Amino acid sequence: QKEVEQNSGPLSVPEGAIASLNCTYSDRGSQSFFWYRQYSGKSPELIMFIYSNGDKEDGRFTAQLNKASQYVSLLIRDSQPSDSATYLCAVNIGGRESGGYQKVTFGTGTKLQVIP
């Protein structure tokens, strides 16, 4: 089983719609969760991080975390063509507070296409 799993897509949504991106992880000890956006040929850009169960909102983006289900999602409201990119879910397994080695594992990413 992969440590971080995402549907590769592509996920196509019309402009103005809500895009929902999902991610599951295998390690129950995971502490922090990240969403990165990566445009083709570019490096990832951090969009949001979340570490508590529930929702975290930042502008058009909402991250949702459910540790019991080992599930994290990213909602993009009012999707724009400029949101078309690959979205990478990343999970921090063993953070500083545990005294352990900080390592972030990435999923393979979901390609999002926003259709004008």
Partner 1 sequence: GAVVSQHPSWVICKSGTSVKIECRSLDFQATTMFWYRQFPKQSLMLMATSNEGSKATYEQGVEKDKFLINHASLTLSTLTVTSAHPEDSSFYICSAETPGHRRADTQYFGPGTRLTVL
Which positions ≥6 away from 23 have C-beta within 8 Å?
A: 4, 5, 6, 33, 71, 72, 73, 74, 89, 107
Which CB, 88 or 112, lies closer to partner 1? Answer: 88
Q: Which of 65, 88, 91, 93 binds partner 1 (CB under 8 A)?
A: 88
Residue 63, interface with partner 1 (CB under 8 A)? no
Residue 95 touches partner 1, criterion: CB under 8 A: yes
Specify the residue, 7 or 31, whose C-beta has the smaller distance to partner 1: 31
**Chosen residue from 79, 87, 109, 112 binding partner 1 by CB under 8 A:** 109
Nearer to partner 1, 68 or 101 (CB): 101
Residue 18 binds partner 1 (CB under 8 A): no
Q: Where along the sequence are the contacts to partner 1 (CB under 8 A)? A: 31-32, 34, 36, 41-46, 49-51, 88, 92, 95-97, 101-109
